[in-house]
């Protein structure tokens, strides 16, 4: 009887997961969706406690209490700018848990069960890759870890070694506990080698992929226990995560393979930098900018990571309100990969109560630029770099961009002339229409609000 | 090879679920606006914490004398909980910002 109850609870949990994700894909119902998925998770966990013959319950509760405390603490205390890193971190924890389960389970696995063994090996390898990869992705976003070039072939050799070891363990007919730890070790190193050489600008795609991988390990763990809630939940994440990865890569007009297996920036950056080297960017001061803005019909704000770093999301909203009082239409042009994660800018702007109807996606805003008087680029660089359209030698050539140079005026708010995350020069800054407004985004925007109000 | 084929046929129900779930996952998020990419990624990340069920099972069946397995299992439960709780909390924090302000209507 008890096991039927558990089964039914798992069934309910799976339905709640699906409904939750479904609701999460619309802004109005997203919060409800998250709560429903959470309820599903609680049902699944509660049902698991009903499992007959469960030992070490105290130990389980202690571990869960520590995990809950830590999770809540990190989730509440992190700044909005560091959100992507945190998601990557949590993702790595899930992968690690799956790999650990695999390690323990190997001890109980009869050597002749090759099918189950293969599933277990998949859990071990993918879980380890997801763990170390996520931590590297986190370090890269945090800026702690710089790009290092690692030979891609070397990385593949590592993966091949892990697979060969797994094959040997399965077919040797004897328990190989030491080799199993070896597989974990090699997989961990592969995870490092896999994420290290990928450019920071591509990190969103990588995190999404790692997220999908963690889902897959949850599913393989589910196979191991013939547990449908893990199987279903894991695969949901795996396939949704994979689709999300493809959507993001598409937004950058690059294939996933291209992102994963070729390094970003580097040599050609110098080449394209040379022909803009002797040009001078034209500066503008606060007062002139505020005049330009106040008398515009339509202003489009293009936010980038710089906005997040300067924590200027409230200041930009204040400017929006000040301009709207003067009858200026203010819109936001959101590039799919602006910031460090897709939707990063949306989340950030939503924090300061910018209504999401004003956040316009790339294709729609590009149509509006010719009838826009002023575009204000705040801390964005690569996503507005015209080299993506007209310089085949540029590493970002082919990436769709926000075509801000089709607007009448462009104001670029930047701290200095340094190049963007991809490390490439931006010809936009030298365009005849462009004026540079140097300074910290928050200070500049606050200054603009005052000037506009005094107008 | 034989054994793997046998494994699949014995567990074919699981494999059907596997395949169908792939399509459900794709179907469910196929129309998501860019605005929600980050929260959705975070939310699905929280869901991958479902591996906590496996962590509980593995620690729950470990004999109290097997210290290595106890340690690994304990860590697995802890990390999976971190994934679940942190994941949902972060997602909720992101989504709180999409709350509609009644005043704006």
pLDDT at A419 over 70: no
Pair B17, B43 in one domain = no
Residue A164: CB atoms within 10 A of its CB come to 12
Q: Give residue A216's pLDDT band: very low, low, confident or very high (50, 70, 90).
A: very high
Find, among A132, A196, A128, A193, the residue nearest to A166 by Cα: A128
Residues of A within 8 A of B41 (CB-CB) are 87, 207-208, 211, 241, 244, 341-343
Q: Considering CB atoms only, which of A18, A230, A336 is closest to B51?
A: A230
pLDDT at B105 over 60: no
Residues of B within 8 A of A62 (CB-CB) are 74
Please tell me the predicted confidence (pLDDT) of residue B35. 67
Q: Which of A139-143, A247-251, B34-38 is predicted most confidently?
A: A139-143
pLDDT at B104 over 50: no
Please tell me the predicted confidence (pLDDT) of residue A211. 93
Higher pLDDT, B26 or A61: A61
Higher pLDDT, A292 or A18: A18
**How far is it, in rounded angstroms, from Cα B46 to Cα B30?**
19
Contact B40 A25 (CB under 8 A): yes
**Interchain contact A60–B (C-beta under 8 A):** yes
Pair B16, B47 in one domain = no
Q: Residues A53-69: pLDDT tens digits?
A: 898 999 999 999 999 99
Contact B46 A96 (CB under 8 A): no
Contact partners, residue B21, CB within 8 Å, separation at least 6:
A219, A231, A232, A235, A236, A239
Pair B36, B85 in one domain = yes
pLDDT at A396 over 80: no
The answer to whether residues A296 and A407 touch, using CB atoms and an 8 Å cutoff, is no
Q: What average pLDDT does range A209-226 have in this prediction?
A: 93
Pair B36, B78 in one domain = yes
Pair B21, B50 in one domain = no
Q: Considering CB atoms only, which of A64, A83, A107 is closest to B69?
A: A107
How far off is chain B from A243, nearest CA to CA, in Å? Answer: 6
Q: What percent of chain A clears pLDDT 70, i.e. is strictly above it?
A: 92
In a domain? residue B43? yes
Q: Give residue A174's pLDDT band: very low, low, confident or very high (50, 70, 90).
A: confident
Q: Which of A294-298, A412-416, B34-38 has the lowest mean pLDDT?
A: B34-38
Q: Put the strands of the sheet holding A298-303 in their side by side order.
A: A359-361, A329-334, A298-303, A374-378, A409-414, A434-438
Residues of B within 8 A of A110 (CB-CB) are none
Pair B48, B16 in one domain = no
Find, among A195, A278, A197, A267, the residue nearest to A424 by Cα: A267
Higher pLDDT, A281 or A223: A223
Pair B22, B40 in one domain = no
**Interchain contact A149–B (C-beta under 8 A):** no
Q: What average pLDDT does range A291-304 have in this prediction?
A: 88
Task: Tell how many helices (H) and how many strands (E) occur in chain B.
Answer: 5, 0
Contact A235 B25 (CB under 8 A): yes
The answer to whether residues A263 and A293 touch, using CB atoms and an 8 Å cutoff, is no
pLDDT at B25 over 80: yes
Higher pLDDT, A279 or A361: A361
**How far is it, in rounded angstroms, from Cα A14 to Cα A43?**
10
User: Alpha carbon of A329 to those of A324, A341, A372, A434: distances in Å?
Assistant: 6, 27, 10, 20
Of the residues A7, A382, A391, A431, only one is catalytic, namely A382
Q: Give residue A420's pLDDT band: very low, low, confident or very high (50, 70, 90).
A: low
Pair B3, B53 in one domain = no
pLDDT at A115 over 80: yes
Q: What average pLDDT does range A417-424 have in this prediction?
A: 66
Q: Active-site residue A391, yes or no?
A: no
Please tell me the predicted confidence (pLDDT) of residue A285. 84
Please tell me the predicted confidence (pLDDT) of residue A57. 92
Interface test with A, best of B9, B45, B73, B94 (most A CBs within 10 A): B45
Residue A69: CB atoms within 10 A of its CB come to 13
Report the length, in residues, of chain A: 455
**How far is it, in rounded angstroms, from Cα A116 to Cα A104?**
14
Pair B36, B82 in one domain = yes
In a domain? residue B105? no
> B6: domain range?
1-30
Q: Considering CB atoms only, which of B8, B25, B79 is closest to A240?
A: B25
pLDDT at A268 over 60: no
Q: What is the mean pLDDT of chain A?
A: 85
In a domain? residue B104? no
Q: Which of A46-50, A77-81, A126-130 has the lowest mean pLDDT?
A: A77-81
Please tell me the predicted confidence (pLDDT) of residue B100. 54
pLDDT at A135 over 70: yes
Please tell me the predicted confidence (pLDDT) of residue A249. 77
A positions 358-397 inside 8 Å of B (CB): 359, 361
pLDDT at A148 over 80: no
pLDDT at A278 over 60: no
Q: What is the mean pLDDT of chain B?
A: 85
Please tell me the predicted confidence (pLDDT) of residue A215. 94
Contact A240 B64 (CB under 8 A): no
Q: What percent of chain A clears pLDDT 90, i.e. is strictly above it?
A: 37
Residues of A within 8 A of B21 (CB-CB) are 219, 231-232, 235-236, 239
Contact A341 B83 (CB under 8 A): no
How far off is chain B from A88, nearest CA to CA, in Å? Answer: 9
pLDDT at A270 over 60: no
Q: State the number of CA atoms in the 13 A half-sphere of A158 facing the CB.
A: 21
How far off is chain A from B16, nearest CA to CA, in Å? Answer: 11
Pair B38, B21 in one domain = no
pLDDT at A157 over 70: yes
How far off is chain B from A166, nearest CA to CA, in Å? Answer: 14
Please tell me the predicted confidence (pLDDT) of residue A78. 85
Residues of B within 8 A of A218 (CB-CB) are 48-51, 54
Q: Give residue A422's pLDDT band: very low, low, confident or very high (50, 70, 90).
A: low
Supply B42's token pair: 């975070």
Contact B56 A48 (CB under 8 A): yes
Please tell me the predicted confidence (pLDDT) of residue A251. 66
Contact partners, residue A311, CB within 8 Å, separation at least 6:
A79, A81, A442
Residue of A nearest to B5 (CA): A115
Supply A37's token pair: 């998925």
Pair B19, B54 in one domain = no
Pair B65, B95 in one domain = yes
Contact A90 B73 (CB under 8 A): no
Q: Residues B53-86: pLDDT tens digits?
A: 999 999 999 988 899 999 999 999 999 999 999 9
Please tell me the predicted confidence (pLDDT) of residue A390. 81
**Interchain contact A247–B (C-beta under 8 A):** yes
Contact B7 A116 (CB under 8 A): yes
Count structural domains, chain B: 2
Q: 3-class SS at A298?
A: strand
Q: What average pLDDT does range A390-411 have in this prediction?
A: 83
Question: What is the C-alpha R_g of chain A?
Answer: 25
B positions 9-48 inside 8 Å of A (CB): 10-11, 14, 17-18, 21-26, 28-48
């Amino acid at each position: 009887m008890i096991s039927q109850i558990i089964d039914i609870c798992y069934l309910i949990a799976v339905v709640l997961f699906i409904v939750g994700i479904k609701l999460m894909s619309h802004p109005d119902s997203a919060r409800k969706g998250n709560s429903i998925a959470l309820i599903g998770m609680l049902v699944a966990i509660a049902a698991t406690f009903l499992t007959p013959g469960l030992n070490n319950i105290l130990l389980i509760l202690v571990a869960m209490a520590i995990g809950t405390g830590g999770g809540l603490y990190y989730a509440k205390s992190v700044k909005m700018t560091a959100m992507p890193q945190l998601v990557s971190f949590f993702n790595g924890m899930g992968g690690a848990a799956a790999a650990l389960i695999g390690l323990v389970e190997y001890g109980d696995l009869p050597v002749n069960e090759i099918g189950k063994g293969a599933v277990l090996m998949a859990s071990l390898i993918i879980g380890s890759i997801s763990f170390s990869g996520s931590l590297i992705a986190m370090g890269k976003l945090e800026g702690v870890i710089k790009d290092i070039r690692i030979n891609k072939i070397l990385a593949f050799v590592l993966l091949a070694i892990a697979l060969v070891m797994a094959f040997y363990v399965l077919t040797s007919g004897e328990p190989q506990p030491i080799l199993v730890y070896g597989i974990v070790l090699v997989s961990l190193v592969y995870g490092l080698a896999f994420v290290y050489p990928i450019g920071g600008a591509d990190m969103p795609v990588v995190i999404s992929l790692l997220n999908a991988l963690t889902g897959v390990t949850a599913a393989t763990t589910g196979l191991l226990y013939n547990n449908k809630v893990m199987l279903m939940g894991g695969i949901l994440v795996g396939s949704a995560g994979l689709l999300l990865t493809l959507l993001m890569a598409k937004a950058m007009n690059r294939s996933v393979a291209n992102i994963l297996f070729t390094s970003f920036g580097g040599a050609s950056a110098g080449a394209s930098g040379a022909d803009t080297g002797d040009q001078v960017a034209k500066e503008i001061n606060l007062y002139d900018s505020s005049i330009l803005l106040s008398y515009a019909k339509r202003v489009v704000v293009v936010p980038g990571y710089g906005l997040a770093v300067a924590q200027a999301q409230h200041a930009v909203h204040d400017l929006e309100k000040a301009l709207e009082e003067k009858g200026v239409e203010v819109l936001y042009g959101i590039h799919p990969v602006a910031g460090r994660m897709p939707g990063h800018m949306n989340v950030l702007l939503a924090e300061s109560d910018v209504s999401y109807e004003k956040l316009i996606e790339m294709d729609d805003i590009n149509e509006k630029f010719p009838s826009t008087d002023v575009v204000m680029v705040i801390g964005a660089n690569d996503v507005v770099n015209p080299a993506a359209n007209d310089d085949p030698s540029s590493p970002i050539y082919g990436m769709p961009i926000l075509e801000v140079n089709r607007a009448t005026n462009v104001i670029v708010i930047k701290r200095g002339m340094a190049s963007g995350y991809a490390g490439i020069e931006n010809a936009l800054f030298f365009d005849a229409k462009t004026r540079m407004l140097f300074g910290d985004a928050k200070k500049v925007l606050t200054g603009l609000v005052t000037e506009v109000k005094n107008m | 090879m034989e054994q793997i084929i046998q494994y699949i046929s014995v567990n074919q129900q699981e494999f059907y679920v596997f395949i169908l779930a792939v399509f459900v996952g794709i179907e469910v998020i196929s129309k998501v606006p860019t605005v929600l990419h980050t929260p959705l990624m975070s939310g699905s990340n929280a869901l991958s914490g479902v591996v906590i069920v496996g962590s509980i099972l593995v620690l729950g069946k470990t004999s109290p004398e097997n210290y290595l397995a106890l340690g690994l299992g304990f860590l697995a439960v802890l990390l999976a909980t971190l994934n679940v709780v942190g994941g949902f909390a972060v997602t909720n924090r992101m989504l709180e910002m999409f709350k509609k302000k009644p005043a704006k209507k």
